[in-house]
Amino acid sequence: MSIRYNEKDQTITLLTRSAAYQMQIVPPGYLLHLYYGRRTEGDLSYLYLDHDCGFSPNPWERQDQRGWSLDTLPQEYAGSLGGDFRTPCLELSTDRGIRGADLRYAGHTVTAGKYALSGLPAAWAREGEAETLTVTLADAASGLQAELLYAVFEERDLICRALRLKNTGDQSIRLEKAASVCLDLPFGDWDWIHFSGRHTMERRPERRRLLEGLQGVGSLRGASGHQANPFVILCDREAGEEQGDCYGMMLLYSGSFLAQLEKDQMGAVRLTAGIQPELFSWRLEPGESFETPEALLCFSPEGLGGLSRRYHRFLRQNVCRGYWAERPRPVVLNSWEACYFDVDEERVLALARQAGDLGADVLVLDDGWFGNRRDDHRALGDWTPNPERFPHGLGWLARKVRELGPGFGLWLEPEMVSPDSALYRAHPDWALTVPGRPPTLGRNQLVLDLGREEVQNWIYDTVAGILRSADISYIKWDMNRELTDVYSRALPPDRQGECVHRYYRGLYSLMERLCRDFPRVLFEGCAGGGGRFDAGILAYFPQIWTSDNTDPVARLGIQEGTGYGYPLSAMAAHVSASPNHQTGRSTPLGTRAMAAMTGAFGYELDPGKLTETERQEIRRQIARWRELESLPRTGELYRLSRPEDPFAAWQLVSTDGGESLLTVCMRAVESNPRPLWLRLRGLRGEGRYRIEWQERAGCLEELSELPEREYAGSALLYAGLTLPPLRGDYPAMQLLLQRTDDNE
Cβ atoms of 540 and 511 within 8 Å: the answer is yes
Tell me how far CA of residue 292 lies from CA of 101, 148, 166, 204, 365, in angstroms. 17, 10, 12, 27, 37
* Residue 548 bears catalytic tag: yes
* Torsional sign, CA 27, 31, 34, 40: positive
Distances (CA, A) of 315 to 172, 225, 463, 530, 576: 38, 20, 27, 18, 28
The b-or-e profile of 539-562 (16+ CB within 10 A means b, else e) is bbbbbbbbbbbbbbbbbbbbbbbb
User: Is 478 one of the catalytic residues?
Assistant: yes
CB burial of residue 231 (10 Å; 0-12, 13-18, 19+): buried
C-alpha distances in Å from residue 89, one per residue of 79, 234, 393? 6, 19, 53
b/e burial code for range 232-257 (CB count within 10 A of at least 16 → b): bbbbeeebebbebbbbbbbbbbbbbb
Residues in the chain: 744
For residue 237, the 8-state DSSP code is T
**Which DSSP state fits 330?**
P
- Give me the catalytic one of 102, 366, 367, 548: 548
Query: Is the bond preceding 731 in cis, omega lying within 30 degrees of 0?
Result: no
Cα–Cα distance, 471 to 467 (Å, whole number): 7
∠ CA 113-119-121, rounded to 5°: 60
What's the 3-state SS for 648-707? EEEEEECCCCCEEEEEEEECCCCCCCCCEEECCCCCCCCCEEEEEEEEEEEECCCCCCCC
Nearest Cα to 71, choosing from 30, 29, 11? Answer: 30
Q: Which residues pair with 93 in a beta bridge?
A: 99, 174
Residue 407's Cβ-side half-sphere holds a number of Cα atoms within 13 Å equal to: 17
Q: Is the dihedral of CA 709, 713, 717, 719 positive or negative?
A: negative
Say which of 478, 485, 551, 742 is annotated catalytic: 478
In the sheet that holds 11-15, the strands lie side by side as 3-6, 11-15, 19-26, 30-38
Which residues touch 418 (CB under 8 Å, ≥6 apart)?
377, 378, 379, 380, 381, 424, 444, 445, 446
- CA 209 vs CA 86, 186, 258, 431: distances in Å: 19, 16, 19, 43
Nearest to 570 by CA among 312, 318, 307: 312
| Preceding peptide of 387 cis, ω within 30° | no
Q: Is 62 helix (H, G, I), strand (E, B) or coil?
A: helix
β-pairing verdict for 362-365 and 332-334: parallel
Q: What is the C-alpha separation between 75 and 54, in angstroms, rounded?
A: 19
Contact 259, 218 (CB under 8 A): yes
Residue 332: C-alpha distances to residues 112, 408, 421, 524 (Å) = 41, 10, 30, 11
Q: Which residues are catalytic?
A: 478, 548
